[in-house]
Structure 1
Amino acid sequence: MKVDVSESKITLDYGKVYFSKVTITPDQENVGRAITIKLRESSQPDPLPSTGPEKIGVRYLEENITLRKGSQELPLPVADKRLMPASIGAVMPFRYIDIYGWKGEFSEKFIKVEFSRSSKYENRGVISFSGGQTADELNRILELTSHTLEATSFAGVFVDGDRERLPYEADAYINMLGWFASVGDVTVPRRTFEYLVKHPSWPTEWQAHMIFMAWADYLQTGDIKFLRKHYDWLKTLSLGEAISESGMVDVTKISPELKEKLKVTYPLGDIVDWPPSQRDGHEMLANNTVTNAFVYMGFKRMADIAHALGEESDRSRFSDLASGLKSVMDVKVKGQDGVYVDGIGSTHTSAHSLFIPLAFGMVDNSQRGDVLKRLATKIESYDGGFPGSVFTAQYLLEGLFESGEDDLALALMLNKTERGWMNMLNKYDATITHEAWDVQFKYNEDWTHAWGAAPANIIPRFILGVNATAPGWARWEIKPSKVLKFSAKAKIPTPHGLIDIVYDYPKRKILFSVPKGTVAELSLNHRSLQFKPGRHEAVWDIQ
């Protein structure tokens, strides 16, 4: 904590934003004095201006209190009690405290700040890079996303941010992937999943994210019982019952019976991206390409889940649903150039109609080059920044890395435009990822949104190339990206213990541990080697 004392005020800077509460215990000289206390997220001394019909979500609180003998807790708004147990009470996100009216010397012992985080949080997964500017910038982003996972666990479930404080499926999925890579705990992800089973949200695409979460849980834990418990619900969420006469899911034609089964209290609707300004002009048509791409991937994952559970007839059914949906889309939502348009009847192709199908393996090899070229042009039109929101950055990066466009993916991650993580860091000194790339893109945004923490999972999975290839990490791979031209150290949590790995770029070596009960596969330049439990050293053959 830094303390700055001036004639008019005392400012305390705690270095990072946490969801916290404040208790004051004044000395005798200040008992009975009226003071003003301000809590704020931003480094700006005054509230950030609101530019839309709803107040900006960046927190600022000003309270006038009279100090009394003993300890007193600074009152927080009632809304700050949401999802919090009575034993903790209200907490709000802030980094700075300004105190006006204090008399005499000030000591840190006069004020206590207590922050809330999940009891399951432990920073077990640690990654650091060295060897140049790119390494340094990746470290900054990793610090941002790592603290995001810690601070936003304050309620014991994954929430969408301070403004709403509600679990949402897409937010929870990205949070979960980062949580597994950084913490390795399954309790908070499952608690969030169980909440969403009871309280699903409205976007059509969000339903598939529950399937994604269930599969991610199985890959991380190898626990078949969790899949079995929720299997029937996941089948409903797959929207296999929602295929319309067009051969695609049309949310406007979902039957009342299915809506009731889905338990959604708000009208179902396609979202594509959020806010709407981040859709790259996507045409919101009834038979929506992006929505149906998510449905397609949900079918693919349901086939995997059915196979894991030994439900082979269901596996065949979901595989057929996936291939059937893709066949329809290849006919009805592809333009004359063979690239997907935004939906049936559209002639427009948004960035999302390019990268969402790409990420989900829907782009045929014959079209991949054209799609990647058009996607690169889209990115250029945003001056090298992300053409979508912080949420869809997850899928754009996945699609690029999986297509071998590692250089473009890394350039996007580190871009210095207003549409990237470096903007959050350089312009706003962020310590938690924001809801949007910049305040100008979402007038009511909050600064506590873990759906912006994609690098927490993208970096270990695609730059370090460490991934589970069998449930519960029984088998896993090391396949470093071609952009890793500097050194790295990492600890990756698994149910069998930590994977400890060092990428020594100057010596062109990789040193790593294989936990007991697992087998590792090192893949370099189309050559694979398998390693049993123990410590190993391998030549890092870089082309």
Structure 2
Amino acid sequence: MTTARFRWALATLIALTCLSSLQAQDAIPELILKPSIADGQLSHDAMLSRGYTPLFNGKDLSGWRNPYPFGEAKVVDGEIHLMANKKFFLVTEKKYSDFRLSVEIKLPEGKANSGVMFRCHVDPEAKKKVFGYQAECDGSDRKWSGGLYDESRRGWIWPSAEGRSTDQFLEHAEESKEFFKQPAIADALNRNGWNRFEITCIKDLITIELNGVQTVRFRDPTDASGFIAIQHHGEKGQTYRFRNLFIKELPEIPAEDHVSLTDQEPVSIKRVDEKTTLIDFGKVAFGNIVMPVPPGRGKGNVHFGEKLKKGRIDREPPGTVRYGVTPIRFGQQRGNWVVPAPNDDRIVQQAGLMYANPPAVLLPDHWGAVTPFRWIEIEGVEEDFPFELIRRRAAFSSTWNEEASAFESSDETLNRIWDLCKYSLKATTFAGVYVDGDRERIPYEADAYLNQLSHYTTDDDVTMAARTFDRLMENGTWPTEWSPHMVFMAHAQWMYSGDIEWLRQRYESLKSKTLMHRSGEDELVRSGELDQKRHDIVDWPKKERDNFVFTEINTVVNAFHIEALQQMAEMAQAVGKEEDAKAFVARAEMAKAAFQKTLFDDAEGIYRDGVGTDHSSIHANFFPLAFGLIPEDKKAGVIEWLKGKDMACSVYAAQYFMDGLFTNGCDSKALELILADGDRSWKHMVNSGTTITWEAWGLKYKPNQDWNHAWGAAPANLLPRFVLGVQVGSPGWKTANIRPCPGGLKFARGKVPTSQGPIEVDWENGDQFKLELTLPDGMSAKIEIPATDSSKSVVVDGQSAEATEEDGRWILKEPVTGKVTIESK
């Protein structure tokens, strides 16, 4: 997160900006509520950046045909213009099956109707030559844009209406028409501007999005493939305009280009009985095995496992801890073979029956199936078999650099926690994008953001973060607070890379992720009954919510909303959207005022869970603390209250709890919780013997938890960012902030990768504080070091340096560069 100073500057900018009229104030939300696609070239570049293939080259109509004897199509300034006196369709020459399609349409003034056909068909002999699925672009007052229509066949599918649909679709007629009356749906079309239609077809599942608003999610098995087409509705003299026609054929398999298989030798081989040999590979990894083909005749089994029980692979492990068996047959061929790991169908589903789940991230077919395992048992193979030739083929990021990062401190348990968390990041790169362990193999927004933060601090080639962001923007999940995490991911990627063009190409699409569509006049987000029962997460799993009481206006959801607005303001400023920046700051300031007035309990000095309850969970307090939402005169009381609490949250929320504590001078408390003796700490996790972090503190907190979940690896970013004290100062790491938080440790040293090169830190904490720092060429750093009780001044490379003492820290006036030694005296 960027400094409070930058946010203060933006807030001041708004305070000094006098909006000329109430009408101008009313227009502010329109700037930031909907994505703008006015800039066609920017949209074009964004689609290429996201891996799409053009359907239209911008110069001529290569790849397209008109199956009608009438209608005119021509290319004008990189657009396709359709003109006709009767309805006709311009159709691709190629058929497509599973894909994500993006088309931008601008309707003419007056009576107009258009659409995008997909998986459609052409019958040259028929009067109505083109028929099939169509995403509707409805310029009338009916406002069914984004609806699903079956052209020249079954009529309206979603919505549906008597006389316009076949009987099978009339059972949801009222429901679907009410759905299209919702303001977000009814107003999704920009009647007088450009509109982006995005259509995804996977198996029998069809989704349609209009300007970032999902209007259709429907299953229909009628057509599995067909052409793409664009429509002129037949109004005489009208010109329909189309641009930026792109397609991405599915499935994408990111591991093909970004992940490699590494052969690993066994760490130990043990014959456990006359039929079975146990092989240990030392740590869990995602993979399978390659082994010589056993000679002779007969059958055997290879058992794969993440967990041992009484010295053997646990064949009935708890939750979703992995176990499986693959049968093998002897002597059928010579040489080596790959023994695929057994897999659950759920991790390969592309259009499963679960409503909430996007497509699973697939792995290359030629790998064979993989699973997370540490041990195998070979059953039925003779004792003289060359078990030492068996190799595990483990999947890791092709660019993972083990030497990119390091951490060591005076606390050996903390060092073991670092090693566990760093390896967890490496081991979970197997899919080429961040996924939720091995239960569904899909990215979730919150999981991915925590993954991203820790990947930045452990590796020096982190293209996976941007890939995961793009996938999630196309395959979002259901929880309320997960949506603002997309803003956080984009902000973190911009700060890490400094790539302003990447941000500019994605900025507009982020406007739908702030939760503004659920906010009221006071800018606070409202949660309906379904939101309170299902969508609002607060923490996960449910047992980790510290008895949080759900209400219509709750503190946690609104903390995320406000932080998203603040980060959007910073990114708007960066991409040159000055009016957007002002609007976002204005909305954030309004929301913060209402947040404090509505949700803070003045009598108790802490935040309530929401309006209508007096209960205060730790979540209602550490999220505002982590996001810098607490007024200075209220902060000390909240901090003191939190310092009296244990880790009454999950491993996910602990990222934010620790962030809040470390940032606000409570490093001793943060380290105390990380190293606590109970079962809700990383000390417990590392002492359990696991080699990849868990999804939860233990099975009793989440019985179906994965044992290979990188959102449990928060110390991989907390220790470099706070204990070593290395944080990004400006986009692209042009500057850094070095602010060690020793928390009672005697020393810490390590290496933190950045986009400019590694930063090396080595500090000692005794009667005085000594910091040795090496920065990459071209980077400068602002320095804050702890002020020990006996320190009176600061020296840099033996020379007195100007510094001020604030809140127990020495703050150097001038930034430093290169290799320096800084000491308190």
Alignment TM-score, normalising by the size of structure 1: 0.89
Name the SS of the counterpart of 2:278 in structure 1: strand
**What's the RMSD between the two structures over aligned residues?**
2.3
The answer as to whether partners of 1:464 and 1:484 remain within 8 angstroms in 2 is no
* Amino acid in structure 1 at the alignment position of 2:546: D
Per-residue deviation, 1:46: 4.8
Aligned to 1:149: 425
Aligned to 2:541: 275
Q: Deviations over 1:333-371 (max 9, x none)?
A: 222424211111111111100111111111222222221
Counterpart of 1:20 (choices 279, 283, 287) is: 287
User: Mapping of 1:323-334 within 5 angstroms?
Assistant: 323-334=589-600
Q: Deviations over 1:231-281 (max 9, x none)?
A: 111122112232125642113299xxxx9xxxxxxx981111111110010
The answer as to whether partners of 1:273 and 1:279 remain within 8 angstroms in 2 is yes
* Amino acid in structure 2 at the alignment position of 1:353: A
Instruction: Tell me whether 502-511 or 11-20 shows the greater mean CA deviation.
Output: 502-511
Aligned to 1:352: 619
Counterpart of 2:696 (choices 415, 420, 436) is: 436
Counterpart of 1:83 (choices 362, 365, 390) is: 362
Per-residue deviation, 1:17: 0.5
Q: Deviations over 1:290-326 (max 9, x none)?
A: 0110001001111111111222211111111111112
Quick check: 1:482 aligned with 2:758? no
Quick check: 1:519 aligned with 2:798? no
User: Mapping of 1:433-472 within 5 angstroms?
Assistant: 433-472=693-732
Q: Deviations over 1:483-503 (max 9, x none)?
A: 263233312112222222322
Q: Deviations over 1:165-215 (max 9, x none)?
A: 110110110100111111132310011000001001111111111111111
Aligned to 2:434: 158
Quick check: 1:58 aligned with 2:321? yes
* Amino acid in structure 1 at the alignment position of 2:580: D
The answer as to whether partners of 2:405 and 2:753 remain within 8 angstroms in 1 is no
Q: Deviations over 1:422-442 (max 9, x none)?
A: 222222x11111011001111
Going from structure 1 to structure 2, the CA distance change for 1:440 and 1:48 (only over 3 Å counts) comes to farther
Aligned to 1:264: none
Counterpart of 2:582 (choices 313, 316, 320) is: 316
User: Mapping of 1:87-126 within 5 angstroms?
Assistant: 87-126=366-405
Aligned to 1:376: 643
- Residues in 2 aligned to 1:33 and 1:111: alpha-carbon distance in whole angstroms: 19
Aligned to 1:244: 520
Per-residue deviation, 1:479: 1.4
Per-residue deviation, 1:532: 5.2
Instruction: Tell me whether 62-71 or 89-98 shows the greater mean CA deviation.
Output: 62-71
* Amino acid in structure 1 at the alignment position of 2:819: R
The answer as to whether partners of 1:124 and 1:492 remain within 8 angstroms in 2 is no
User: Mapping of 1:290-305 within 5 angstroms?
Assistant: 290-305=556-571
Counterpart of 2:757 (choices 493, 497, 503) is: 497
- Residues in 2 aligned to 1:504 and 1:425: alpha-carbon distance in whole angstroms: 26
Q: Deviations over 1:412-462 (max 9, x none)?
A: 1111211111222222x1111101100111111111111111111111111
The runs of at least 4 consecutive aligned structure 1 residues that moved more than 4 Å come to: 504-508, 529-533
- Residues in 1 aligned to 2:683 and 2:569: alpha-carbon distance in whole angstroms: 39
Counterpart of 2:663 (choices 389, 402, 407) is: 402
Going from structure 1 to structure 2, the CA distance change for 1:77 and 1:104 (only over 3 Å counts) comes to closer
The answer as to whether partners of 1:523 and 1:529 remain within 8 angstroms in 2 is no
User: Mapping of 1:357-368 within 5 angstroms?
Assistant: 357-368=624-635
- Residues in 1 aligned to 2:586 and 2:448: alpha-carbon distance in whole angstroms: 28
Name the SS of the counterpart of 1:440 in structure 2: coil
- Residues in 2 aligned to 1:166 and 1:305: alpha-carbon distance in whole angstroms: 27
* Amino acid in structure 2 at the alignment position of 1:61: G
The answer as to whether partners of 1:414 and 1:422 remain within 8 angstroms in 2 is yes
- Residues in 2 aligned to 1:331 and 1:199: alpha-carbon distance in whole angstroms: 36
Per-residue deviation, 1:109: 4.1
- Residues in 1 aligned to 2:765 and 2:644: alpha-carbon distance in whole angstroms: 32
Per-residue deviation, 1:112: 2.1
Q: Deviations over 1:91-114 (max 9, x none)?
A: 100001112222132434442210
- Residues in 1 aligned to 2:415 and 2:377: alpha-carbon distance in whole angstroms: 30
Aligned to 1:128: 407
Quick check: 1:306 aligned with 2:572? yes
Aligned to 2:463: 187
- Residues in 1 aligned to 2:290 and 2:329: alpha-carbon distance in whole angstroms: 13
- Residues in 2 aligned to 1:235 and 1:95: alpha-carbon distance in whole angstroms: 43
In the alignment of these two chains, the number of paired residues is: 514
Identify the structure with bigger relative contact order (alpha carbons < 8 Å, sequence gap 6+): 1
Going from structure 1 to structure 2, the CA distance change for 1:344 and 1:491 (only over 3 Å counts) comes to same
Going from structure 1 to structure 2, the CA distance change for 1:246 and 1:532 (only over 3 Å counts) comes to closer
The answer as to whether partners of 1:19 and 1:151 remain within 8 angstroms in 2 is yes
* Amino acid in structure 2 at the alignment position of 1:153: T
Alignment TM-score, normalising by the size of structure 2: 0.60
- Residues in 1 aligned to 2:777 and 2:750: alpha-carbon distance in whole angstroms: 18
The answer as to whether partners of 2:281 and 2:392 remain within 8 angstroms in 1 is no
Aligned to 1:74: 339
- Residues in 2 aligned to 1:253 and 1:470: alpha-carbon distance in whole angstroms: 41
- Structure 2 segments unaligned to the other structure (5+ residues): 1-266, 349-360, 786-808
The answer as to whether partners of 1:251 and 1:268 remain within 8 angstroms in 2 is no
- Residues in 2 aligned to 1:533 and 1:97: alpha-carbon distance in whole angstroms: 51
The answer as to whether partners of 2:572 and 2:578 remain within 8 angstroms in 1 is yes
* Amino acid in structure 2 at the alignment position of 1:39: F
Q: Deviations over 1:356-392 (max 9, x none)?
A: 111111122222222123223332xxxxxx1100000
Aligned to 2:819: 535
Q: Deviations over 1:34-76 (max 9, x none)?
A: 22321110122354757xxxx7110011233222342232243
- Residues in 2 aligned to 1:527 and 1:302: alpha-carbon distance in whole angstroms: 29
Name the SS of the counterpart of 1:319 in structure 2: helix
- Residues in 1 aligned to 2:666 and 2:674: alpha-carbon distance in whole angstroms: 13
* Amino acid in structure 2 at the alignment position of 1:139: N
Q: Which has the larger radius of gyration?
A: 2
- Residues in 1 aligned to 2:744 and 2:644: alpha-carbon distance in whole angstroms: 25
The answer as to whether partners of 2:751 and 2:760 remain within 8 angstroms in 1 is yes
Counterpart of 1:339 (choices 606, 609, 628) is: 606
Instruction: Tell me whether 342-351 or 494-503 shows the greater mean CA deviation.
Output: 494-503
- Residues in 2 aligned to 1:139 and 1:456: alpha-carbon distance in whole angstroms: 11
The answer as to whether partners of 1:125 and 1:490 remain within 8 angstroms in 2 is no
* Amino acid in structure 2 at the alignment position of 1:292: N
The answer as to whether partners of 1:16 and 1:95 remain within 8 angstroms in 2 is yes
Going from structure 1 to structure 2, the CA distance change for 1:488 and 1:420 (only over 3 Å counts) comes to same
Going from structure 1 to structure 2, the CA distance change for 1:314 and 1:253 (only over 3 Å counts) comes to farther
Aligned to 2:120: none
Aligned to 1:383: none
Identity %: 36
- Residues in 2 aligned to 1:247 and 1:422: alpha-carbon distance in whole angstroms: 41
The answer as to whether partners of 1:124 and 1:184 remain within 8 angstroms in 2 is no
- Residues in 1 aligned to 2:728 and 2:282: alpha-carbon distance in whole angstroms: 35
The answer as to whether partners of 2:668 and 2:744 remain within 8 angstroms in 1 is no
- Residues in 2 aligned to 1:317 and 1:268: alpha-carbon distance in whole angstroms: 31
Name the SS of the counterpart of 1:205 in structure 2: coil
- Residues in 1 aligned to 2:579 and 2:635: alpha-carbon distance in whole angstroms: 32
